[in-house]
Amino acid sequence: MLEVARELIGKTLVHETPAGRTSGLIVEVEAYIGESDPACHAAPGRTKRNAPLYGPPGIAYVYLNYGMHYLVNAVTEPIDSPAAVLIRALEPFEGIELMRRRRARGTGKRAASFERNGLCRGPGNLTKSLAIDLAQNGLDLTGRELFIEDAPASMTEAFPIAWSTRIGINVGKEQVWRAFVPGNPCVSGKSSLNGNGRSAAGDHLTSPA
DNA sequence: CGTTCGATGCACT
DNA sequence: GTGCATCGAACGT
């Protein structure tokens, strides 16, 4: 499972829409594993909302939280083993101008005022830039609309990976189940290891316990 | 630098 | 009615 999270780092998440194609390199993820993980949506058992977690792996689990942000996960385990990787940040790759227009929508701001590195920094931001909402819930991530694929050869350098505790939760804080590319300016949250002054004491470069 | 707080909608008890 | 796997603006050091 944590291996899947690690493998997703450095792949691309792509969304094809009538408006165009947007994609980015996955630089930050978190694992949510099973009903025994209090922060996982499967913790209360099977419900209508979390049903995709109990389905086959390779499926997108999308939901709305805080009433205003859609979050996208990749289901990772076999049927009846609820677990998923939350995609938290991307380095924008294709469709950057389209991302800017989507981010500006509804705000009074100009699309041009959005910096590239911030377009997909944070799970709520990346779904807005890629136009991911409940319509994509349950899609096959190996399909043609919303999918994960290997990065182009020109980008397949080895990515350094750091692990930390998960962000934005109140339970299950002990697990070191957040993986990110240290130093990458598109990573959300704080990290002394990402080289831009956003730091957190718990970060470390070794593998999780 | 840091922390607090409002916006906002839906699933769940 | 309560509580979020958030974001960013508005404050206080």
Residue that the structure tokens 């989507």 belong to: A102
Which nucleotide has the least CA–C1' distance to A63?
A: B10
> How many angstroms is C1' of C8 away from CA of A83?
30
CA torsion through residues A85, A86, A88, A94, sign:
positive
**Residue percentage of chain A with pLDDT more than 90:** 78
Residue nearest to nucleotide C3 (CA to C1'): A66
Å: A166 CA to C11 C1': 27
Q: Are A44 and A171 in contact (CB under 8 A)?
A: no
Subset of residues 166-195 in chain A with CB less than 7 angstroms from any atom in strand C: 166-170, 188
Task: Identify the residue whose Cα has the smallest distance to the C1' of C7.
Answer: A124
Any residues with CB less than 8 A from the CB of A184 and at least 6 apart, and which? A27, A28, A91, A194
Gap from A199 CA to C8 C1', in Å? Answer: 18
Q: Which one, of A72, A57, A96, lies nearest residue A186 by Cα?
A: A96
Report pLDDT for A190: 67
Residue A67 CA and nucleotide C4 C1' are separated, in Å, by: 9
The residue type found at A1 is M
Q: Is 0.75 topped by the overall pTM?
A: yes
Question: Strands A12-17, A20-33: parallel, antiparallel or unpaired by DSSP?
Answer: antiparallel
Crossing angle for the helix pair A96-104 and A123-130, nearest 10 degrees?
110
A64 touches strand B (CB under 7 A): yes
The CA R_g of chain A, rounded to the nearest whole Å, is 16
Which positions of chain A have pLDDT values less than 70?
Answer: 156, 190-209
Q: Are A97 and A111 in contact (CB under 8 A)?
A: yes
- Which nucleotide's C1' atom has the smallest distance to the CA of A123? C6
Q: What is the pLDDT of residue A158?
A: 76
pLDDT of residue A87: 97
Residue spans of beta strands (DSSP E) within chain A: 12-17, 20-33, 60-65, 69-75, 83-94, 146-149, 162-164, 178-180
- Nearest nucleic acid nucleotide to A86, CA to C1' distance: C5
What are A70's two structure tokens?
A: 């859609």
Q: Count the Cβ atoms, other than its own, within 10 Å of residue A111.
A: 15
How far does the CA of A153 sit from the C1' of B8, in Å?
42
Query: What is the C-alpha separation between A83 and A177, in angstroms, rounded?
Result: 12
Distance from residue A137 (CA) to nucleotide B12 (C1'), in Å? Answer: 19
Q: Determine the distance between A35 (CA) and B13 (C1') in angstroms.
A: 18
